[in-house]
């Protein structure tokens, strides 16, 4: 039975800053002292509150009031007012100023602030500017509390309430009540499904125009997460009908309405109609145009192929390195061409060729910019070449829009990259949106070299950039196929090529680097993986657990990433006396834990404790270790592999996850001294040759596969690769064949 009661907060036992969940001790006249649990993100000690909820009995903590809603009541004591004023919630007010205010106005201080704030000017140290900030922060805080109270019954978390308030201010409740689907466009993190849940609770009709259009846009965005840049209108219609549970005619009408408003683009191609989110249609068309424009540009000072060949041949003598015919051709074409794709598997000499390309450009006095899609890939590129390399985002001088929600690049067609040549490694990881941004920032006449392995997994984002470029046969491509003698001694490299040709790897060869350990169930597989990481490999190979990376194709399952992280954490980093930990988001973060940053954060401050260097930018895929947790300050600190030490507030912990084990997809662009790979029964899309190939090529010195041989065989045989709907290749052919490029404003076309 639900009850309503009023009381004063005596103590906060626990408060999760990530989701607002609070355990508090509250005194009420009706029920005495209560333990209260529930979502109360803004509650503080000494607050007067009204609560509604139901009793529950906890098996350890006894009777508690589990609340559904709460609201703040006026403070009735000077100590309560002082507690609020000195809490840090009001800008510019510390304990000393709070005491002056309470000494002056007593328990009426909050009422005076709201009704006659100018009276605060009577207090020493408060001027007009300070008062304006004080009033603004108090009123915004009060408004936010009001929004939380009004919107939480509709399943909107306090964190989302804060985002909604940032978008709509005092109109927040009105906007949500009138059109909850507006949240999809205006509030980052609230998608169609969440908005639909809210709308249902508000009794919004299922066939409203806003719902249909947002459902269609959601369907297209979900397909982009699958890698597609477009859907056939029939496929889109079926998916949207299934999502929205309405008649197909209404969906079709919605698609055309979105085309009229330019939210989607419809292209007719032979017997199909392709529907794109406009951003992907523009990105593919503009990328194709810019690639052809770069490739066909007539340079004033072009290095003839013969001269480039002489440079590379001379460098062989200087460097005392003999290149293969393919490598010589690749390096020479890179120096003499406008645009080149260099592709090859492990051990075929991509890195050596890349070093010669860089040295060749330097011989000509050219300025070269090196970049890769991720921080780890850029670090590998830098280590391999001995030259500075950055992420593509950093090269493009990434920043944020005025509202700090959208990422923008300061390098573009108006302010291009200042380099004579740009070399992009791991191009297979680049999606079409990032490609578009990069190409806009490369001025005609700049040489562009793409380097990558066409057999790796495609980008996480939409598009198949490397595949489409190669298959279009419009851009000069050099394939490195010869495996060098030194590389051929590695069973990892030999097996990678065997797998790529549909052959089983050679396993358990004496004194080698590739081992297979048979296990027949997921539990046995998981147990052995943990034993390998925690005991066997460190003892036998003198490896640190930091040198060992577990890769699993799946997140869920007994041998999946999530469970393995829990098991490995307990095996190699258990809770011990003096070791701190933080509980939240269904996980425990502990000092010494291996973690990965999973969202590009270009403004995150860091400091290198060894060199004293400071900067900003932590990127998706960066791996480090928690070195300190400060529960009172609600902060923890992570030292990353490259020496950067970063402070994280507990509210930012959605940016990190455990990394004792990680997915094969997350490992792209990285290499590890030792890789342990569990293989077990999985959906066909994950039990594929491409995932196996990508996983084993992450290992530099040692690879151990654990699992059932029949599943290993199944992965080698399974050439499944989910077809991506992309049109970059078609557009490359069209622009080249027709001699058409797009104007900078995207719309008109002109002949070459």
Provide the CA 162 distance to its chain's centre, in angstroms: 22
Q: Is 651 annotated as ligand-binding?
A: no
CB atoms within 10 A of CB 497: 21
Phi, psi angle pair for 509, to nearest 5°: -75, 135
For tokens 């939409």, the residue is 462
DSSP string, 614-670: EEEEE-TT-EEEEEEEETTTTEEEEEETTSEEEEEEGGGGGGEEE-SEEETGGGTT-
Question: Nearest Cα to 526, choosing from 575, 569, 568, 554?
Answer: 568
Q: Count Cβ atoms below 10 Å from residue 404 Cβ, excluding itself.
A: 11
SS3 442: coil
Helix spans in 27-127 (H)? 78-85, 95-105, 109-115
Instruction: Identify the sign of the CA torsion 377, 381, 387, 389.
Output: negative
454 with 428: CB under 8 angstroms?
yes
| Cα-based distances in Å from 630 to 465, 572, 590, 634 | 44, 22, 11, 6
The widest CA-to-CA distance across the chain, in whole angstroms, is 94
Tell me which residue of 118, 36, 49, 39 sits closest to 80, measured CA to CA: 49
For the record, the structure tokens of 34 come out as 């209560």
Output the CA–CA distances (angstroms, integers) from residue 310 to 230, 316, 356, 367, 368, in the order listed.
46, 10, 12, 20, 20
> Which of 752, 677, 751, 313 lies closest to 505 in space, CA to CA?
677
Query: Can you tell me the distance from the alpha carbon of 392 to that of 441, in angstroms, rounded to the nearest whole number?
Result: 11
**What SS3 state is found at 411?**
coil
Measure the CA–CA gap between 517 and 294, rounded to whole angstroms. 50
Confirm whether residue 707 is marked as ligand binding.
no
Residue 584 marked ligand-binding: no
Phi-psi region of 365 (alpha: psi -120 to 50; beta: other; left: phi over 0): left
Distance CA(466)–CA(287), nearest Å, equals 12
Decide if 497 contacts 464 (C-beta within 8 A): no
Known binding residue 349? Answer is: yes
**410: helix, coil or strand?**
coil
Of 15, 58, 57, 63, the residue nearest 38 (C-alpha): 15
Residue carrying the six token digits 């000499």: 349
Q: Provide the 10 A C-beta neighbour count for residue 163.
A: 19
- Please give the Cα distance from 208 to 181 (Å, whole number): 10
* Whole-angstrom distance, CA of residue 493 vs CA of residue 241: 47
Question: Would you say 350 is a known binding-site residue?
Answer: yes
The total of other beta-carbon atoms located within 10 Å of residue 279's CB is 18
3-state helix, strand, coil in the chain (%, to 5): 45, 25, 35
Contact indicator for 263, 279 with CB cutoff of 8 Å: no
Phi and psi based region of residue 473 (left: phi greater than 0; alpha: psi -120 to 50; beta: remaining): left
Our measurement of the distance from residue 625's CA atom to the centroid of its chain's CA atoms, rounded to an integer in Å, reads 19
As annotated, the binding site includes 347-351
Binding residues for ATP: 347-351
């Amino acid at each position: 039975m639900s009850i309503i009661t009023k009381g004063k907060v005596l103590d906060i036992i626990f408060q999760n800053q990530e989701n607002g969940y609070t355990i508090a001790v509250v005194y009420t006249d009706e029920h005495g002292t209560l333990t209260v649990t529930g979502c109360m993100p803004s509650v503080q000690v000494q607050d007067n509150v009204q609560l509604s909820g139901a009793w529950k009995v906890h098996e350890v903590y006894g009777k508690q009031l589990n609340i559904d809603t709460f609201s703040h009541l006026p403070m009735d004591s000077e100590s309560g007012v002082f507690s609020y004023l000195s809490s840090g919630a009001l800008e510019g007010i510390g304990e000393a100023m709070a005491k002056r205010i309470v000494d002056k106005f007593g328990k009426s201080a909050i009422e005076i602030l709201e009704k006659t704030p100018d009276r605060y000017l009577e207090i020493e140290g408060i001027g007009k500017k300070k008062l304006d900030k004080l009033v603004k922060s108090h009123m915004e805080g009060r408004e936010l509390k009001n929004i939380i109270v009004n919107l939480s019954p509709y399943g909107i978390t306090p964190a989302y309430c804060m985002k909604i308030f940032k978008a709509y201010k005092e109109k927040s409740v009105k906007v949500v009540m009138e059109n909850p689907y507006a949240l999809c466009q205006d509030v980052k993190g609230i998608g169609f499904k969440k908005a639909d849940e809210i709308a249902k609770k508000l009794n919004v009709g299922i066939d409203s125009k806003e719902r249909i259009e947002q459902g269609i846009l959601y369907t297209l965005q979900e397909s982009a997460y699958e890698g597609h840049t477009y859907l056939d209108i029939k496929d889109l219609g079926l998916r949207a009908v299934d999502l929205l549970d309405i008649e197909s005619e209404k969906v079709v009408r919605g698609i055309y309405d979105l085309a009229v408003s330019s939210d989607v683009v419809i292209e007719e191609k032979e017997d199909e109609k392709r529907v794109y989110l406009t951003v992907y249609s523009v990105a593919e068309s503009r990328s194709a145009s810019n690639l052809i424009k770069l490739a066909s540009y007539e340079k004033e000072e072009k290095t003839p192929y013969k001269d480039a060949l002489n440079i590379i041949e001379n460098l062989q003598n200087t460097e005392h390195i003999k290149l293969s015919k393919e490598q010589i051709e690749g390096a020479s074409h890179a120096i003499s061409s406008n645009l080149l794709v260099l592709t090859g598997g492990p051990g075929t000499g991509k890195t050596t060729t890349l070093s010669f390309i860089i040295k060749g450009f330097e011989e000509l006095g050219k300025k070269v910019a090196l970049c890769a899609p991720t921080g780890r890939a850029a670090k590998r590129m830098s280590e391999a070449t001995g030259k500075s390399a950055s992420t593509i985002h950093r090269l493009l001088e990434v920043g944020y829009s005025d509202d700090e929600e959208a990422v923008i690049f300061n390098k573009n067609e108006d302010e291009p990259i200042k380099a004579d040549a740009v070399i992009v490694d791991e191009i297979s990881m680049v999606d079409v949106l990032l490609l578009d941004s990069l190409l806009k920032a490369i001025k005609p006449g700049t040489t562009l070299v793409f380097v990558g392995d066409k057999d790796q997994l495609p980008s996480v984002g939409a598009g198949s950039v490397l595949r489409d470029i190669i298959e279009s046969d419009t851009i000069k491509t050099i394939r490195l196929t010869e495996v060098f003698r030194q590389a051929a001694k590695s069973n990892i490299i030999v097996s990678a090529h065997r797998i790529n040709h549909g052959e089983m790897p050679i396993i358990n060869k004496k004194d080698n680097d590739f081992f297979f350990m048979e296990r027949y169930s997921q539990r046995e597989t998981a147990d052995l993986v943990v034993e390998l990481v925690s005991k066997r490999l460190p003892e036998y190979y003198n490896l640190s657990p930091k040198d060992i990376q577990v890769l699993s194709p799946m997140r869920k399952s007994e041998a999946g990433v999530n469970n393995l992280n829990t098991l490995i954490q307990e095996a190699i980093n258990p809770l011990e006396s003096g070791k701190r930990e933080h509980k939240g988001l269904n996980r425990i973060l502990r000092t010494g834990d291996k973690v990965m940053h999973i969202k590009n954060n270009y403004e995150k401050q860091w400091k290198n404790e060894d060199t004293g260097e400071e900067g900003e930018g932590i990127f998706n895929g960066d791996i480090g270790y928690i070195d300190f947790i400060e529960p009172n300050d609600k902060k923890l600190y992570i030292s990353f592999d490259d020496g950067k030490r970063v402070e994280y507030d507990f509210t930012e912990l959605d940016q990190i996850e455990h990394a004792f084990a990680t997915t094969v997809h997350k490992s792209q662009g990285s290499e590890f001294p030792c890789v342990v790979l569990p293989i077990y029964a999985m959906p066909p899309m994950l039990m594929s040759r491409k995932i196996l190939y990508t996983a084993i090529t992450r290992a530099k010195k040692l690879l151990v596969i654990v699992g059932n041989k029949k599943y290993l065989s199944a992965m080698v045989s399974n050439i499944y690769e989910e077809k991506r709907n992309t049109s970059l290749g078609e557009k490359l052919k069209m622009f080249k064949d027709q001699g058409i490029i797009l104007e900078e404003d995207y719309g008109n076309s002109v002949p070459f």
